[in-house]
Structure 1
Amino acid sequence: MGDLTITNKVLERYINFLLRFDKSSKKKMITKLTNSLEKKEEKSFTIKSIFGAWQDDRSADDIIDDIRESRMEPKDIDL
């Protein structure tokens, strides 16, 4: 999920709302926000990561047979 940027006006609304919390709740909120600032390991995705040879122990004929067997017949539709 990407980062969300908010305006000062929206931030002030959040702060005014959060100021009503008790001390314990505020501390929990601070802890969670602080933890969220720690850099998380980003999953790298490149288009190259989806390229490559098909890896399977089955023969081409077995794969084709499996594909054909998994097909579903269309339902009869009256128009």
Structure 2
Amino acid sequence: MNSSTQHISLADYYYGFLKNLNSDSKLDLISKLSQSLKETETTPETPLESLFGAYKSDESAEEIIAELRASRVFNRNIETL
């Protein structure tokens, strides 16, 4: 938009299209808009507790840690003095 163009609200923009509808169509549109306001779209919240325990194993935490440590590979050479 250039500086000479006036700001127009979204409601005014749509009203420009809809003002020429017949009365029945306008009433139907009002009904649908009203119904959409009543329908609250709720997104289910994921509780933080549900994120815990995602990795399931028969091994204990200590066994998993020991296995991870044992599988480490060091390939750098450390020079001794």
Q: Which has the larger radius of gyration?
A: 2
